[in-house]
Each structure stands twice: as C-alpha cells, then as structure tokens.
C-alpha cells in the first residue's frame, strides 16, 4: 500500500528558492540591515517575505487539512494557494496605505512573536519578557515587491503539479 500523494505538505518550503529566501531574510534582518542600512537592505526583506509568507500559510493550511485525514482536492489546493497569496498581498497594501493596517501589522506580528521573545527573555534573564509590537516604517515603495508573489505562486503551483 502506497502513501497518499499529498503528505508532503511542507514541499513548497523545501524548494531551493524558498530556502534561499529564508536564508536571505535571516541574514538581511540580523546582519545586513544593522551593518548597511538603506533602501536595498529594506527591499531584500520585503522580497523574501513576499515569497515566504504565502508559502508558509499554504503549508499550514495543507498540514491542517491533511491532518484531518482528508486528502484535499486539486481545486481546493489551488484555491487555498490563491487565498494565501491574496491574504499576503492585501495585508501588504493595507499596512502600507492605512494607519489601522499598519497598527494591525505591528501588533499582530508582535503577538505572534511574543511567546518566542518572552521564552528567550526568560531563559536568558530569568524574567518574563514584555509584549512589544514590531517596528514598521510605512513605505509606499514596498508595494513594488508585490510582483514577487508570482514567484510564490510558481513554487506552490509547481509543487501542486508534482503531487498529482
């Protein structure tokens, strides 16, 4: 008996471009931005995020659906991929163009990071860390990174085709 074709829910995350974007994001945010701040280091993170974020969301959706022992149909996988791309694109547009979108982004991402930061603070300082929203600088030129969602689509779609 062979295993179902879709248990590789993580496949888009292991694509070489996705791995490269993850490495770029980490190196850029933790080394290049502090050492060489500027326009280029800011855009590198945005480009990497446009590729990574929808694929992470898609992988989470895929894992949750597969975990319920339901093999998703090809059309539902395709719709889920498009929904993840749309969610990330709309989020970027709203956070760059509206004050409430910026606030939701800063506090929402801060809330997602809080458990990890608090645990690290506690482990290193023996005291519980406090909640901190992330810092964000609204910049309309970040919208030029939206076309990189096409790279995420290409990776996700190629993995969907490979799974069928």
Contact 121, 131 (CB under 8 A): no
133 phi and psi angles, rounded to 5 deg? -70, 155
Whole-angstrom CA distances from 129 to 9, 53, 54, 68, 113 are 33, 26, 29, 35, 11
Please return the burial class of 131, using the count of CB atoms within 10 Å of its CB with bins 0-12, 13-18 and 19+: exposed
The residue ranges of every structural domain in the chain are 11-163
pLDDT at 1: 41
Tokens of 98: 């509206």
Is the pTM higher than 0.75? The answer reads: yes
The series of mean pLDDT values per 10 residues for the chain, 164 residues long, is: 58 93 92 88 91 94 75 84 96 93 92 88 80 87 95 92 75
pLDDT at 125: 80
């Amino acid at each position: 008996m062979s295993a179902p074709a879709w248990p590789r829910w993580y496949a888009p995350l292991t694509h070489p471009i996705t791995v490269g974007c993850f490495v770029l994001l980490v190196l850029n945010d933790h080394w290049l931005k502090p050492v060489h701040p500027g326009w280029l280091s800011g855009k590198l993170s945005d480009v990497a995020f446009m590729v990574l974020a929808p694929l992470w969301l898609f992988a989470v959706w895929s894992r949750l659906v597969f975990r319920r022992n339901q093999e998703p149909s090809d059309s539902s996988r395709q719709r889920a991929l498009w929904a993840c791309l749309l969610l990330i694109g709309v989020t970027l547009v709203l956070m760059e163009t509206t004050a409430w979108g910026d606030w939701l982004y800063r506090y929402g991402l801060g809330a997602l990071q809080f458990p990890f930061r608090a645990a690290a603070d506690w482990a290193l300082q023996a005291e519980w860390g406090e909640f901190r929203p992330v810092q964000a600088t609204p910049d309309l030129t970040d919208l030029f990174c939206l076309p990189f969602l096409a790279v995420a689509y290409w990776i996700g779609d190629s993995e969907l085709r490979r799974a069928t």
